[in-house]
C-alpha cells in the first residue's frame, strides 16, 4: 500500500470500505478495498472472488460498451435477479460496484443487504447506494420489495450507455430532484402512494415535466429506451419483474432463458404492458 495515496472514501459495504487512491508511481487513480476481516495469508486473499474478478464500476472507467455488450450483460444480471427473487430474496444494494465480471460472465456480489421478500416490516430506509436508490426508499416507505432492485437496474442500464450515473447527488433531496428532472415529477395518477409518503415527511416534489430519455441516451435503441423508462417508473408496481424484463423486446436476440428460471406463462398484468413496447407508438410515449 506504500505506493498508493488514499484520496477519499467512495463506498462502504458489509465486508469492507472502498477508497479512491492514487498510484504514486504511475499517477493512475484506482479503487482500493479495505476488508474488515483479517486474512492469515496472501494466498487466501488472492482466492477471494473480488480479487479474481473486476467490478462493472472498474470496467466502465476504461471501456466503452456497444449495445450488444450491454444487452448481454444485462440479460445475465436479470437472470440472476430472477433466480434470487424467485427464491424469496431481494438484493437491496444493486450497483456497478457489486457486479463482478470475469471472461464475459457477470455475477451479482455483496449480499450483505439482502433480505427475504416476505420478511416482516418495517424495513430500513438506508439501503442501496444513493444514486441507485428507489424513490420509495428515499421517502421512507416501511414496506418495499424486489422492485427496488429493478429501479437500480434501470439506473445501471442508463449508466452503461453514458458512462456516468444518471442520478448523481450528494443528498437524498438532490437525487430526487435529479429524478424529477429526468422522468418528470410524480402525479396522483402516476403514484398517489408516493405523494402520500412525501406528505408524511413534509417533502414537496419539485415541479418538472421530465425530458426524453433519447436526448440523454442518444446511442440507445428504442427498445433499450423503452425498457429503461419502464424500470424507472415512480410506481413500484409499474416496474417489470426480472422475469418480465427477460421477455422484453430488447432481449429478443439473446439466448433463451436457462431452464432453472423458465418464465411462467401465466404472468401478471404487467406482461401485457411490456408487450405494448413492441409498437413505436408506445415507445414514443415512454421515451
- Annotated catalytic residues are 93
State how far the Cα of 119 lies from the Cα of 140, in Å rounded to an integer.
17
C-alpha cell at 155: 439506473
- 3-state SS, residue 117: coil
Secondary-structure percent of the chain, ordered helix, strand, coil, rounded to 5: 45, 15, 40
Cβ neighbours of residue 82 under 8 Å, at least 6 residues apart? 241, 242, 243, 246, 257, 261
C-alpha cell at 227: 425498457
* Cα atoms found within 13 Å of the Cα of residue 85, Cβ hemisphere only: 21
Residue 137 near residue 194 (C-beta atoms within 8 A): no
Residues making up the chain, counted from first to last = 287
Q: Give the containing element (helix H, strand E) for 18.
A: strand 16-23
Amino acid at each position: 500500500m506504500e505506493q498508493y495515496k488514499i484520496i477519499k472514501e467512495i463506498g462502504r459495504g458489509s465486508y469492507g470500505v472502498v477508497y479512491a487512491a492514487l498510484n504514486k508511481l504511475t499517477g493512475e487513480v484506482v479503487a482500493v478495498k479495505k476488508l474488515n476481516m483479517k486474512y492469515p495469508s496472501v494466498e487466501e486473499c488472492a482466492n477471494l472472488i473480488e480479487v479474481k474478478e473486476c467490478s462493472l464500476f472498474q470496467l466502465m472507467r476504461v471501456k466503452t460498451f456497444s449495445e450488444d455488450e450491454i444487452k448481454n450483460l444485462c440479460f445475465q444480471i436479470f437472470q440472476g435477479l430472477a433466480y434470487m427473487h424467485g427464491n424469496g430474496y431481494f438484493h437491496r444494494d444493486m450497483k456497478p460496484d457489486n457486479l463482478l465480471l470475469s471472461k464475459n460472465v457477470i455475477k451479482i456480489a455483496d449480499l450483505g443487504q439482502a433480505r427475504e421478500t416476505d420478511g416482516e416490516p418495517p424495513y430500513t430506509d438506508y439501503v442501496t447506494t444513493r444514486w441507485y436508490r428507489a424513490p420509495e426508499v428515499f421517502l421512507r416507505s416501511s414496506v418495499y420489495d424486489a422492485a427496488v432492485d429493478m429501479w437500480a437496474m434501470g439506473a445501471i442500464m442508463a449508466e452503461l450507455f453514458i458512462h456516468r450515473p444518471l442520478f448523481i447527488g450528494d443528498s437524498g433531496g438532490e437525487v430526487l430532484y435529479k429524478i424529477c428532472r429526468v422522468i418528470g415529477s410524480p402525479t396522483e395518477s402516476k403514484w398517489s402512494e408516493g405523494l402520500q409518503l412525501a406528505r408524511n415527511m413534509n417533502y414537496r416534489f419539485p415541479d418538472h415535466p421530465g425530458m426524453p430519455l433519447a436526448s440523454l441516451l442518444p446511442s440507445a435503441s428504442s427498445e433499450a429506451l423503452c425498457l429503461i423508462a419502464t424500470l424507472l417508473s415512480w410506481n413500484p408496481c409499474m416496474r417489470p419483474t426480472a422475469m418480465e424484463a427477460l421477455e422484453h423486446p430488447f432481449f429478443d436476440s439473446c439466448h433463451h432463458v436457462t431452464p432453472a428460471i423458465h418464465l411462467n406463462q401465466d404472468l401478471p398484468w404487467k406482461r401485457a404492458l411490456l408487450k405494448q413496447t413492441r409498437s413505436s407508438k408506445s415507445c414514443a410515449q415512454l421515451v
